[in-house]
Amino acid sequence: MGGITVFQVHLGFSYAASSFMRDALVILSVGRSPQRRTLLKTVLHSRHEHSKLNMIVLILLLLIQPPAPATVSGRVELGQARIQQSGVRGQSRYARGRSTDAVKASVPVVVWIEGSAPQTASLGAPPVLNQKDTQFEPRMIVVVAGQTVRILNSDPIYHNVFSLSDVKRFNVGRRPAGEHVDVRFDKPGEVSVFCDIHSSMNATIRVLPNTAVHWTVLDGAGTFRLPAVPAGRYTIHVAAPGYTELRQSVTLTAGQRLELDAFVLEP
């Protein structure tokens, strides 16, 4: 009796077949993990009388392995910084000036990897751009196009948050302590945010396209790591306020650990 015939005969035992297929679905659902290894051992040592079907399911599970994701890492360096606040509405809050290590360390850098297919994962709760101690916290927020940012005043004084950026123009008006306004961002790009009452306050909202797979924010120059990237073709983007954005195309294979050359951002 050939292998296919044995498989068909065992499928005739409905209880055994349904039991093992249920085990198979549970094992596949937990992916490559300690839980999966535990379930495999449980099925292997089970005392069901139809052991041949047991072995067939095990073999299929071992053959159907999800591809291991890739990891991308690298370093970002900053050139001559634009460090002087312009203090002029609508203009960049950076102007050309001398470069210092302290200034470079304070410039937020966003690194993201972008594919070709829109991502369908839930965006979750809106991130909060807080006003506290007459500062924005955090100074950089990253969102995906279509996402909302909650602008909250946690100071005991009035603030008036606004932006004149082409990507998104808005003005939440004068807001007292405890009030918030939700602002939706639909267009990818950089949004410079200010307070109309306190000119020293500034922040950046970086809106990514919905094809962005992973991203990270650096507090100035430093190293980055983008884990769990599926195999495929992508573009790496590196951007910081006051600097020219850099891009690099990459092709990743399953399980690859790609170390990129340094990205040097210039004004």
pLDDT tens column, 93-105: 433 343 455 455 6
- pTM for the full predicted model: 0.71
Find out whether the peptide bond into 67 is cis, omega within 30 degrees of 0. no
The pLDDT of residue 93: 45
**The residue type at 135:** Q
Summarize pLDDT for 152-173 with one digit per residue, the tens. 999 999 999 999 999 999 999 9
Which 3-state string (H, E, C) describes 196-262? CCCCCCEEEEEEECCCEEEEEEEECCEEEEEEEECCEEEEEEEECCCCCCEEEEEEECCCCEEECCC
What would the pLDDT profile of 93-146 be if each residue is shown by its tens digit?
433 343 455 455 679 999 999 999 988 777 788 999 999 999 999 999 999 999
User: What 3-state class would DSSP assign to 4?
Assistant: helix
pLDDT tens digits, one per residue of 1-27: 444 443 443 444 444 445 555 555 554
Q: What is the pLDDT of residues 42-76, one digit of tens each?
A: 655 655 555 556 666 666 665 666 788 999 999 99
**Burial track 133-157 (b if 16+ CB lie within 10 A, e otherwise):** eebbebbbbbbbbebebebbbebee
* Helices (H), ranges, the chain: 3-11, 14-29, 34-44, 51-63, 101-106
What are the percentages of helix, strand and coil residues in the chain, rounded to 5?
A: 20, 40, 40
pLDDT for residue 80: 72
Q: What is the pLDDT of residue 119?
A: 86
What is the distance of C-alpha 109 from the center of its chain? 14
HSE, CB side, 13 Å, CA atoms: give it for residue 177. 7
Reported as a pLDDT band with limits 50, 70 and 90, residue 37 is low
Enter the DSSP assignment of 95: B
N-terminal to C-terminal alpha carbon distance within the chain: 74
198 in Cβ contact with 159 (< 8 Å): yes
Q: What is the pLDDT of residue 87?
A: 39
